[in-house]
Homo-oligomer: A and B are copies of this chain.
Amino acid sequence: MNNIDFPQFFRLVAEAAREASLPHFRVDTAIENKQHGGFDPVTVADRGVETVIRALLAEHFPEDGIVGEEYGSERSGAARQWIIDPIDGTRAFISGVPVWGTLVGLTVDGDAVAGMMAQPYIGELLYGVRDQGAFFERGDVRRTLKTRMTTAIGEAIAFTTTPELYTGASAGLPAHLRRSTKLLRYGTDCYAFAMIAAGQVDLVLDPGLKPYDIVGLIPLIEAAGGVVTTWDGGSAEQGGDIVASANPALHEQALALIASSLRGA
C-alpha cells in the first residue's frame, strides 16, 4: 500500500461521489420516481455512486478486489480488497439530513489499512491511513484529525443510531449507556463514527453492521487515535456489533460496560 497516493485517490472518490449523489439529494421524489422507473432517489444515488467508484478502482487498481453494498464482490481472492458503501445512512438521505456519507476502505489480508468518509452535500472528506495519520478536508481547509483524551466514561458523548436496534440480551444497553455517559444521542449513522476521528464524539455503538458499514471508518478512527472493535473486543473488519472509542483507555471501559450490560448486571 506504500505506493498508493491515498489523499489524491480519496479526493477523486469524493468528487465522483458528489457528482453521482447530489443530483438525487433533496429532490422531488415524485419527479425522480417518474424519471427513474419507480426507484427511490436513494437507490439511484446508491447505485450511481458505487458505479463511479468501481470505475475509479478499475482504472487505478485493476488487480485489487472489490466488495460493494450494491454490486457484490469481484476478485475475492486478491490480498487487497476495496470495501464500498456508496450511501451509508440511506434514511438520513431520504429525509434530507446531510449526515449520510460515502465510505470506502482498503483491507490488506483482511486488515483495514486506509479508509474515508465523504459527505458530499457539506463538502467534507475525512480519511485515515495507517502510519500516516487522519485528515479533514473541506474546500481550502485541511487539518490533521486527533481523537479526544476523554478517559472517564461518565464524561463521554456517545451515539447510537436508534435504541430499536437493541433486542434480546442487548435490549437494556441503550438505557445503560445513557445512565453511564454524559450524553447519549441517536441518529447520524456513519457521521457519528467520523466525529470520533474529528475529536468531537467519544463513543459510538451500533449493532448488526455489515463490513461495508464500518471498514472505511476503521482506519479513519484508528489513525486519529481511536479504537474500533466488536462488542467482545474482536476485529471489526467483518462487521457485527461494533463499538468505537476515542482512545484505548475509554475503549476498555466501554467493553466492560457492554459485557456487564449483556450479562444483565
Contact = CB atoms under 8 A, between A and B. Distances in A.
Contacts of A157: 94-95
B199 A28 contact: yes
Nearest to A96: B200
Interface string A189-229: 00110010011110000000000000000000000000000
Contacts of A192: 95, 97
Given A122-B122, A199-B28, A97 B99 contact: yes
A96 B187 contact: no
A55 B185 CA distance: 34
Q: Counting chain B CB atoms within 10 Å of each CB, which of A97, A178, A195 scores highest?
A: A97
How large, as a class, is the contact surface on chain A?
20 to 34
A6 B87 CA distance: 37
B95 A159 contact: yes
Given A162-B186, A187-B187, A96 B201 contact: yes
Interface of A: 26, 28-29, 91-92, 94-99, 121-122, 148, 157, 159, 162-164, 178, 183, 185-188, 191-192, 195, 198-201
